[in-house]
Each structure stands twice: as C-alpha cells, then as structure tokens.
Amino acid sequence: MAFRISRVAADPPVVSAAAVPGGWNGLAYFRLHGSPRVYYSKYRPDQIEWFAQQLGGLRSDHPVWCIFDNTAAGAATANALALQERVGGL
C-alpha cells in the first residue's frame, strides 16, 4: 500500500469484491448508481439500512465517502438524506 490507493465499492457491483471498499484502508469510498436500473432506481429502505451498516462499521479517523449517482429520475437526494439520517451525518 505504498501508493495509498483505495478502490471504490460500487453498486451495482460488476463482481462480488466490488461491493466493498478495497486497497488502502485510509479512505472508504462508496459510489451508488442505483439498482437494479443503473442511474434510475431509488434505493429501498432495507438497502439504505444495509449501506448505513457498512458505512457505520467503517467509522474511524479516516474519511468515508458515499456518493449517490442515481440521479436520472431524481432519487439521489432523497436516498442521500435517508442514509445521512440513518448514520447520523458521518
């Protein structure tokens, strides 16, 4: 990890390992595109809860980023606010 490169956790993941952050552990980065329809699908409350548990388990002195990219139908803002409420603002 000499170069301190982190791998994004993406949804939907193209391979199972892509569902969780990897690489350097000094940064955790999630990029959520909407699932099952990429860019369009709104995340359900149970999915938001799962992401909240994932992010909450990573709290430390390192940054944790989560970006919603399911913007085509306007779901990103509501999903981001729901996640923020669930994790307490990380």
- Tens digit of pLDDT for each residue in 15-64? 999 999 999 989 999 999 999 999 999 999 999 999 999 888 876 778 88
User: What pLDDT does 57 receive?
Assistant: 80
Asked, for residue 26, whether it belongs to a domain, the answer is yes
The answer to whether position 30 is within a domain reads yes
Instruction: Please state, in angstroms and as integers, the Cα–Cα distance from residue 68 to each residue in 3, 4, 26, 72, following that order.
Output: 27, 24, 21, 11
What is the total count of domains within the chain? 1
Q: Higher-confidence residue: 28 or 90? A: 28
Residue 1 placed within a domain: no
For the cut 70, the answer to whether the pLDDT of residue 1 exceeds it is: no
| This prediction's pTM | 0.87
Amino acid 71: pLDDT: 97
Residue 90: pLDDT over 60 = no
The residue segments making up the domain with residue 72 are 6-87
Give domain status of residue 81, yes or no. yes
Cα–Cα distance between 52 and 46 in angstroms, integer?
10
Q: Hey, what are 3's tokens?
A: 């170069």
Question: Does residue 68 lie in a domain region?
Answer: yes
pLDDT at 89 over 60: no
| 41, part of any domain | yes
Is position 79 within any domain?
yes
